[in-house]
A = this chain, B = another copy of it.
Amino acid sequence: MANVKISIIGAGSAIFSLRLVGDICRMEGLSGSLVSLMDIDKERLDAVHALAVRYSKAVGADLKFEKTMDLDASIEGASFVVNTALVNGHSYLEKTREIGERNGYYRGIDTQEFNMVSDYHTLTNTGQLNFFLDVARKVEKLSSNAWLLQAANPVFEGTTLIYRETGAKILGFCHGFHGVDEISKELGLNIGELDWQVAGFNHNLWLTKFSYNGKDAYPILNNWIDEKSKYWKPKDPFNDQLSPVAIDMYKFYGRFPIGDTVRNGSWKYHYNEEVKRKWFGQPWGGADSKEGWAWYQNKVRQTTLDTEKLAKSKDADLLKQFPPDIMSGEQHIPFINAVLENKKTRLILNIPNKNNAVPYIPENVFIEIPVVVDSKGIHPEKIEPSLPEKLVFMYLFPRWLRMEWAINAFIKRDLGILKEFLIRDPRTKSEEQVEAVIKGLMEELPDFKFHYKSISKR
């Protein structure tokens, strides 16, 4: 009987919250816990709370739930805080992108080389980064021993920022590593007999070890590429794990890219919609294209409707959508269970590069690698073989530098750094273009303006 408090910040996202709640119900050791659901959207919070209570009862779990719109109240006394909130919501990101595109920045200024993911906003979503720090500082103050589980993006910039600026025990979570499952399934390999490792940064993750029954499995992958890759077609815009982009990146860097890494190549794959369709497949050209993104926006709208549908659903339907005996695949609750129950669990987490698992990268940068978690803490695996130097110097380093520039502009509230960052963007043709896009952001995004106007006070 754990009897701990687990806080979920930004719990208004029904599907994600129910995945976590489901996982808590499935873990015997977490029985007796208090789950604190926090959101600023009362209506959605009420709906999710009711669903969580109902689900828990339906599966016979012994859990307590609270709902609150007060961040402090949710964090106070919590042993684990999961931050999944997207400040300002999707509409802010769309507005930002629109300002960028109006000024010649296709897909918006946050969409940078090696960070092409359209909703991983590192430059413009200052409200989100400030909220990350707010939550971390509250955790530090109100429940200083708690683990802070960062689930909302940008995980790379966010975790590193929190680590450097606060004393919170911060970890980053992502499910992108499941791309390894997709590969092994496509190759007809039993994932249980695979011995694999991934290493890199969040959304910059590479399959360093890939071994089957004790033998290197890369040759099996090579065979698939030679013989079967030509038949590959995307099932949806996000289905790119085995796309021509992934194969091209593998051929150049020497290891296979995993998860959203495939979306994060260089401009080679992203010059325009036609180029995107060539690399990511017809008809969408991947998730970060006009068509792919329209598909995604529609899905986001659908998700809101899903919440209403779920609220009206019968228990049987709820249990069908979130089966009581199948873990969600998210790692947050397995992490909590491993810590509380001292149950050694292998997870792929974002942690500081203290053991130099990613060579040449300073230790105050967050990397994504396999670790084993138990009640004593987090034990990083030795990455063997290591990431190839070519990959480190040509892929990870440029991405790392962009992280440093982004968080330095943010921390120092220095528009000069942001402008210089944009000067280095291949889409920039003149200094005037940079001035114009910054002017647009300052005039139309209150959060952004507030953040960068505050410099004089510091």
Judge if A326 is at the interface, Cβ distance under 8 Å: no
* CB closest residue in chain B, given A424: B266
Which residues of B have CB within 8 Å of A405?
A: 393-394
Which A339-396 residues sit within 8 Å CB-CB of chain B?
360, 362, 390, 393-394
Question: Are A420 and B394 CB-contacts (below 8 A) given A360-B362, A426-B426?
Answer: yes
Q: Which of A130-168 contact B (CB under 8 A)?
A: none
Question: Roughly how many angstroms separate A113 CA and B408 CA in the complex, as a whole number?
Answer: 21
A393-B401, A408-B390 in contact; A267/B423 too (CB < 8 A)? yes
Contact digits for A423-454, partner B, Cβ 8 Å, 1 yes 0 no: 11110111100000000000000000000000
User: A interface, how many residues as a size bin?
Assistant: 20 to 34
Contacts of A394 in B (CB 8 A): 401, 405, 417, 420
Please, which residues of chain B bring their CB within 8 A of the CB of A420? 252, 266, 268, 394
- A114 smallest CB distance to B (angstroms): 10
Q: Is the CB of B430 within 8 A of A428?
A: no
Q: List chain B residues, Cβ under 8 A from A362.
A: 360
Q: What's the least CB distance linking A261 to chain B, in Å?
A: 16
Q: How far does the alpha carbon of A360 sit from the alpha carbon of B423 in the complex, in Å?
A: 24
Neighbour of A428 across the interface among B267, B275, B393, B404, CB < 8 A? B267
Complex Cα distance A408/B390, Å?
A: 8
- Would you call A398 an interface residue if the criterion is a C-beta within 8 Å of the partner chain's C-beta atoms? yes
Smallest CB-CB separation from A401: which chain B residue?
B397
A276 → chain B, closest Cβ, in Å?
A: 13
A395: nearest chain-B partner, CB-CB = B420
**Complex Cα spacing A398 to B423, Å:** 13
Q: How many copies does the complex hold?
A: 2
Assembly CA distance A262 to B135 (angstroms): 44
User: What chain B residues lie within 8 Å of A113 (beta carbons)?
Assistant: 424
Smallest Cβ-Cβ distance to A431: which chain B residue = B268
Pick the contact of A271: B390, B417, B430 (CB < 8 A). Answer: B430
Contact A408 B393 (CB under 8 A): yes
Report Cα–Cα, A424/B92, bound state, in Å: 29
Within 8 Å of chain B (Cβ to Cβ): is A214? no
Contacts of A60 in B (CB 8 A): none
Whether A89 sits at the interface, judged by CB under 8 Å, is no
**Complex contact B271–A429 (CB within 8 A):** yes
A188 within 8 A of B: no
Contacts of A275 in B (CB 8 A): 430
Check if B423 sits within 8 Å of A252, measured CB to CB. no
Cβ of A192 within 8 Å of any chain B Cβ, yes or no, is no
CB distance from A266 to the nearest CB of B (A): 5
**Chain B residues whose C-beta falls within 8 Å of the C-beta of A431 in the assembled complex:** 268
Residues of B within 8 A of A416 (CB): 252
A266, B423: Cβ atoms under 8 Å?
Answer: yes
A selection of 30 A-B contacts at a CB cut-off of 8 Å is A113-B424, A252-B420, A266-B423, A266-B424, A267-B423, A267-B424, A267-B428, A268-B420, A268-B423, A268-B431, A271-B430, A275-B430, A360-B362, A390-B417, A393-B401, A393-B404, A393-B405, A393-B408, A394-B401, A394-B405, A394-B417, A394-B420, A397-B401, A398-B401, A398-B424, A401-B401, A424-B426, A425-B426, A426-B426, A426-B428
- Known: A267-B423, A268-B423, A271-B429; 18 extra A-B contacts, CB below 8 A, are A113-B424, A252-B420, A266-B423, A266-B424, A268-B420, A271-B430, A275-B430, A360-B362, A390-B417, A393-B404, A393-B405, A393-B408, A394-B405, A394-B420, A397-B397, A398-B401, A424-B426, A426-B426
The 8 closest A-B pairs by CB, nearest first: A426-B426, A268-B423, A393-B404, A266-B423, A397-B401, A268-B431, A271-B430, A252-B416
